[in-house]
Amino acid sequence: MENIGQIKTLISEADLKKRVEELAKQIYEDYNKRSITFICILKGSVFFTVDLAKHIPSNVKLEFIRVSSYHGTESTGKIELKIDLKDDIEGEDVLIIEDIVDTGRTLSYLKEYLKTKNPKSLKICTLLDKKERRVCEIEPEYVGFNIPDKFVLGYGLDVDEEYRNLPYIGYIDNV
């Protein structure tokens, strides 16, 4: 993406690391050391999912699902399932791992879809929560950071597939 402007830091790499470790400890304790199936929503939550899983001492199974609702910096409002789960989650304790919740449309869609697969439990963990933009009634059980209504990138989040590899969460004023 050309002419993106200067990226400003919203959440530092050190703050991300600390909060991911805190979330992992809370999840581990809440699940009473049981095995958990993480459903990583591709592509944005990959970094968060991997870092979170590394800090949970009990067994973590990884599943992947891909949905799309964005084009550039704007949500299309239409949810499209692009990659479905590979394995069965029936009877499993399932934690959906999301990078950011803003309107809530994607997670509302996914939660209803995954309920049809009969997991034992189904909860949501998001790195970032942008409540100002919420249009669907959805509240994650685990939240890394509440953030203002800014377009963010880095640590998995992108602008047209770019900037995912930044080790921090940044934002751009002109987007």
Identify the three-state secondary structure at position 101.
Answer: strand
CA distance 105 to 137: 9
From residue 28, how far is each of 21, 38, 128 by CA, in Å? 11, 12, 20
SS3 content of the chain, % helix, strand, coil (to 5): 25, 35, 40
Nearest partner of 41 among 139, 141, 108, 91, judged by Cα: 108
Other beta carbons less than 10 A from residue 88's beta carbon: 12
User: Euclidean distance between the first and final Cα of the chain, in Å?
Assistant: 12
The secondary structure of residue 159, as a DSSP letter, is: B
Residue 88 annotated among the catalytic residues of the structure = no
d(CA 106, CA 129): 13
Active-site residue among 93, 102, 129, 158?
102
The angle at the Cα of 40, spanning 35 to 43, to the nearest 5 degrees, equals 160
The residues annotated as belonging to the active site are 102
